Amino acid sequence: MPTPRLLAGFLFVATLCASLHAQDTNTLSIKLLDGRTGLPVKASNFLVRVDHNDTVHNEWVRINDDGSVIVTLPAGVRDFSVKATYAMGMETYINCDAAKENDKERDIWYPISAILKSGVVAPNECSKTSFTAKPGEFIFFVRKRDWRDRPDD
């Protein structure tokens, strides 16, 4: 039969391991807004990429019933890129931080450290808006695709 001292030691080690595991992630809040109106947009899904890799990690994204979005990234991730989908995930929105560029599909990378420290608001090339992010919050703007966004045949 284990002694109370042994049980207390085991409990201490288990608590320490749990707290260390909790520090192995970074949690971000994402606000998705319409680039023209600034109103919240509810996406079908979010395509998250990290550290300039092509792999999409939508399993790190939790979309709550109220439309709020939480992304849990592994510790050590330096930057991330995100796109949102609509129409049951078949179409991606155009991110307004690249809306006026020739390559509207390119990924734009944002530093996790800046988001965690002070929050980041992505540039909005779809209209003039004024928003402020809180620490741990990433705000970005989108618009739906239109005829100009279709590839040339």
Domain boundaries, the chain: 25-145
Q: pLDDT at position 145, please?
A: 79
Fold (topology level) of 25-145 = Immunoglobulin-like (2.60.40)
Pairing of strands 91-92, 94-95: unpaired
What is the DSSP-derived secondary structure letter of residue 48? E
Q: pLDDT at position 67, please?
A: 75
pTM score over 0.75:
yes
Q: pLDDT at position 47, please?
A: 92
Give pLDDT < 70 ranges for the chain.
Answer: 1-23, 99-104, 147-153
